[in-house]
Amino acid sequence: MDELRAATWPAHQRLEKRLDIKARFGSLPLYRGHLEQMWGFCAALEPRLEPWLRDAALPDCESRSKLPLLTHDLLALGVNAAALAHLPRCAELPDCPDSCAALGCLYVLEGATLGGRTLLPMVQVRLGLTAQHGASFLASYGADVRSMWQRFGSALDAWCAAAEQRSRATAAAVATFGALERWLCGRTARARRRFGLVKRI
């Protein structure tokens, strides 16, 4: 965990600066657009990770999926099921050839649960949302967020004990941050935010 944190810190900081979360959470349409982008990323990446994570020491991997939370929020915010099915999905994903790489990718998604808890009060105050309505993705595991993070860290440390395994996990985590930055902040992403991700049905 310490090696991953150090290796991904520059990419993590760059992504946070480019995201401008305060602007993204400035209105319901902008916030919904951000969730749509996250849905498109998780819908593409999570199915790639699950088979490998089941092989790793992570028996609760299914409960860690962010896609159901994002789906719940988007439906609550007025995106109907037909529109949801047509949301764009990220095509430029990091390679995930083994369990070590899958754990590295998941490190980024699990880390977002910690950040989400700090952002939840912002959307509660600004947008009037709650963990039950529109902000379940940010609320993530609720009061269990710390214990879930610790269990993930223990599984990561146990599975990636050798230097070569840690290297594969680190490379995958860095690549995941890069893919997420391109998806959320790249030129195509800016066009999607400007013109709307999907036509409302």
Question: pLDDT tens for residues 89-144?
Answer: 999 999 999 999 999 999 999 999 988 988 999 999 999 999 999 999 999 999 99
CB 24 within 8 A of CB 69: no
CA atoms within 13 A on the CB side of 54: 6
Residues 161-196: tens digit of each pLDDT: 999 999 999 999 999 999 999 999 986 555 454 444
pTM of full prediction above 0.85 = yes
DSSP summary character for residue 86: T
Q: Which CATH superfamily is domain 20-195 in?
A: Heme oxygenase-like (1.20.910.10)
Written as one letter, the residue type at 122 is: M
Q: Is the dihedral of CA 32, 150, 15, 92 positive or negative?
A: negative
pLDDT at 86: 94
